Amino acid sequence: MINERNLLIWLNFLGSITYEMVSTLINYFGSLEELWYAKEENLYQAMNNHRIIAKKMLKTRNEQFLQKLIEGVEHSDFEVITILDKDYPKKLKCIYNLPYVIYMKGKKNFDKPLIAIVGARKSTAYGRWAAKKFAVELAEWGVGTVSGLALGIDAEGHKGTLQEKGYTVGVLGCGIDQCYPQSNYHLYKKMEEEGCILSEYGPKVQPLKHHFPARNRIISGLSDGVVVIEAGEKSGTLITVDHALQQGKDVYALPGNINNNQSKGTNKLIKEGAKILLGIEDIIEEIKCNYTLTNLRKKQELQEVLSNEEMNIFQMIKEEPLHIDRIAYKSGISISQLNTILTILELKGFICQLPGKTFTANK
């Protein structure tokens, strides 16, 4: 029962104990197990100015309490992942003050390309439309989204991804069993089934004001880039931007009406060097460097109009212009049969013939 993993869950349960504090305690005592057995005066000395937290630790430092805590989380409807576990998200290991324990519901798919879509709660119709549009288009490329399951831009980003059967992660500023705001309950339940809900706060933790700026580092940390749809000059969304910049992530901002308060923050970001977001290609071109991306919608459309044989030949030509002899060699198809397939592809507008029986793709 008394092991490093369980003790991380115990420290997280106590609240207000950051990863920095955990690291300090490990450096001081050598291990968390040594902390568990440490003398009271040594614990106070290690905690320095955090006497209230030290008192909490002393009050709950007994095996009966620890056993009840661990059994409670193990028999819950959520999963607990610590920094010691193999399935802890790799992207979060690289951020400052990482969450050493996370609670989650849904599917783990954190290694896939993910883009944060963030913005104002009090959003405009244009902002909500744009958030959903980009989420849909990202899903068409197999790129998931991350946001905070809040009203406005966050919710529309999640909805757009789910609409296209994509993967979306909602990072909460409250306990994993709390839905905040309550008006997003149906979205919360759908994400629980089809996406992922994640929090560094355990069950029954209320949505306190200071939790939301803290959770923003996780939103940007899980992402390969951050898209800001709408934000006022002093918007909390800009905290996510600050975290993203510290983490070395790309920041994209959607330009907006200069007379709209919700566009002042995004327009200022562009002025200060954020990448201007005019189309989905602005994002896709950047993350193609790290991932192999395929436009799933176009692939589906191709599959609907091309036979398997035609699709295979088209994919070869799409990679590079090829002479008919080279296509025959790569495909193992006879020249006479190949001529028929190439003619069909030309008639359907997928390829064109260059001089010398070389073929190139139109799409």
**How do residues 53-91 score in pLDDT, each as one tens digit?**
999 999 999 999 999 999 999 899 999 999 999 999 999
Q: Give me the residue spans of the domains in the chain.
A: 4-75, 106-287, 306-361
Least confident of 9-23, 39-53, 130-144: 39-53
pLDDT reported for residue 56: 93
Number of residues that this document lists for the chain: 363
The whole model's pTM is what? 0.83
Residue 302 has pLDDT above 70, yes or no: no
In this predicted model, what pLDDT tens digit does every residue of 88-129 receive, in sequence order? Answer: 999 999 999 999 999 999 999 999 999 999 999 999 999 999
Q: Please compute the mean of the pLDDT values over residues 339-358 and round it to a whole number.
A: 88
313, 343 contact by CB (below 8 A): no
The confidence band for 338, taking pLDDT boundaries of 50, 70 and 90, is very high
Percent of the chain residues past pLDDT 90, beyond the cut: 83
The confidence band for 295, taking pLDDT boundaries of 50, 70 and 90, is confident
Distance set, CA 57 to CA 100, 137, 290 (Å): 17, 48, 43
In this predicted model, what pLDDT tens digit does every residue of 237-265 receive, in sequence order? Answer: 999 999 999 999 999 999 999 999 999 99
Q: Please compute the mean of the pLDDT values over residues 295-299 and round it to a whole number.
A: 74
Residue 48 has pLDDT above 90, yes or no: no
Least confident of 7-11, 16-20, 354-358: 354-358
Residue 183 has pLDDT above 70, yes or no: yes
The confidence band for 303, taking pLDDT boundaries of 50, 70 and 90, is low
Least confident of 255-264, 286-295, 326-335: 286-295
Contact residues for 281 (Cβ-Cβ < 8 A; gap 6+): none
Residue 363 has pLDDT above 70, yes or no: no
**Edge-to-edge order in the sheet of strand 322-323:** 322-323, 358-361, 351-354
Domains 106-287 and 306-361 in one fold: no
Closest CA to 150 of 194, 244, 215: 215
CATH architecture of 106-287: 3-Layer(aba) Sandwich (3.40)
30-37 own/partner pairs: CB under 8 Å, 24+ apart: 31/4, 32/4, 32/7, 32/8, 33/2, 33/3, 33/4, 33/7, 35/7, 36/2, 36/7, 36/61
Gyration radius (Cα) of the chain, Å: 26
Rounded CA gap, 328 and 324, in Å?
6
Rounded CA gap, 175 and 75, in Å?
16
In this predicted model, what pLDDT tens digit does every residue of 308-317 receive, in sequence order? Answer: 899 899 989 9
Q: Please compute the mean of the pLDDT values over residues 289-304 and round it to a whole number.
A: 77
pLDDT reported for residue 227: 98
The three-class DSSP label of residue 128 is helix
CATH topology assigned to domain 306-361: Arc Repressor Mutant, subunit A (1.10.10)
Contact residues for 190 (Cβ-Cβ < 8 A; gap 6+): 162
Rounded CA gap, 252 and 256, in Å?
13
181, 150 contact by CB (below 8 A): yes
Alpha helices in 61-184 (DSSP H): 63-74, 125-140, 153-163
